[in-house]
């Protein structure tokens, strides 16, 4: 399995591609799939703020569009010295694909914290709710 340090570096590289003319808040993400493949993403802002998409959803969407459905870890790197946490919609998006997936959040200083999607989004609305 890929080392956490390699995933953090992949997320950092992805953050450099962020399109953030409004917030200037560059975020990168890396998703390790059960297949061993890694997909990365960066946040992409839009003048119509609702059109903005977060780095986590970009990385996951790339993976899903390539047929991936099982995820081993998500890494999120932000520009703050303390770890950057996924927003609510990203938490909900991740919950669709596994509540027990670890999410490692990393700050610019290297400080990190890891929590599962379940811990980030207690009482998540999941596909089971639609049965």
Active site residue 56: yes
Select from 52, 121, 58 the least CA-distant residue to 85. Answer: 121
Listed as own residue / partner, the contacts of 110-116 with beta carbons closer than 8 Å and 24 or more positions apart are 111/81, 111/82, 111/83, 112/8, 112/83, 113/83
Query: Which strands make up the sheet holding 112-116, listed edge to edge?
Result: 38-42, 28-33, 71-77, 102-106, 112-116
Catalytic residue among 3, 9, 45, 56: 56
Cα–Cα distance between 56 and 64 in angstroms, integer?
A: 12
> How many residues in the chain?
131
Residues 6+ apart with CB under 8 A from 36: 1, 2
Active-site residue numbers? Answer: 56
């Amino acid at each position: 399995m890929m080392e956490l340090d390699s995933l953090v570096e992949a997320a950092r590289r992805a953050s450099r591609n962020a399109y953030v003319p409004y917030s200037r808040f560059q975020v990168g993400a890396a998703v390790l799939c059960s297949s061993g493949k890694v997909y990365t993403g960066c946040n992409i802002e839009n003048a119509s703020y609702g059109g903005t998409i977060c780095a986590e959803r970009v990385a996951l969407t790339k993976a899903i569009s390539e047929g991936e459905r099982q995820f081993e870890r998500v890494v999120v790197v932000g520009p703050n010295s303390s770890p950057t946490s996924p927003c609510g919609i990203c938490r909900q998006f991740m919950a669709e694909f596994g509540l027990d997936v670890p999410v490692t959040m990393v700050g610019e200083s290297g400080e990190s914290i890891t929590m599962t999607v379940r811990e980030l989004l207690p009482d998540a609305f999941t596909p089971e709710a639609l049965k």
